[in-house]
């Protein structure tokens, strides 16, 4: 299987999404999961190839129902518990398929 690609999305793809990317990378490292995490912006995220989009809850409605991949809304980018739970739920979901 190819490496899973996760896109973290904020308004412009160059600020908050970086914080979220780092948080997810932390979780992946702790769980010994290899995946690519990269930043994107809400305007272009749907056209970037990836396996999942992690996006702030504020921006979720802008892409809801239009994405071909799993979209995970995140309330608080820096809440380790939330990010860890949602990241692991996503990976556990893939493994079941």
Partner 1 sequence: MRVSYKTIGNYMFKKENILTKVKVGNWTEAIRVAGGLLESSGSITSKYTDAMISAVKEMGPYMVILPHFALAHAAPSKEVLKDDFALITLEEPVLFGVPNDPVYIILALCAKDGKSHMDSLAKIAKVLMEENTIQEIIDAKTPQEILDITEKHLL
List of residues contacting partner 1 (CB under 8 A): 10-16, 18-19, 22, 39, 41-42, 56-59, 75-78
Report how far residue 37's alpha carbon sits from residue 18's, in angstroms, rounded to the nearest whole number.
10
CB of 92 to partner 1, least distance (A): 26
**Nearer to partner 1 by C-beta: 85 or 93?**
85
CB of 84 to partner 1, least distance (A): 14
Residues in the chain: 97
Give whichever of 15 and 93 is closer to partner 1, judged by the CB atom: 15
CB nearer to partner 1: pick between 18 and 69: 18
Beta bridge partners of 70: 52
- The tokens for 57 are 């809850």
Residue 9 CB, nearest approach to partner 1 (Å): 11
Contacts with 54 (C-beta within 8 Å, 6 or more apart), sequence order: 6, 7, 8, 9, 20, 24, 72, 74, 86, 87
């Amino acid at each position: 299987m190819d490496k899973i690609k996760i896109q973290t999305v904020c308004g412009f793809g160059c600020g908050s999404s970086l914080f979220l990317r780092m948080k997810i990378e932390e979780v992946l490292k702790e769980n010994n999961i290899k995946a690519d995490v990269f930043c994107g912006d809400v305007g272009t995220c749907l056209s970037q190839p990836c396996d999942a989009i992690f996006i702030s809850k504020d921006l979720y409605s802008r892409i809801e129902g239009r994405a071909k991949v799993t979209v995970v809304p995140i309330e608080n980018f820096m809440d380790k518990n939330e990010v860890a739970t949602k990241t692991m739920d996503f990976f556990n979901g893939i493994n079941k398929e």
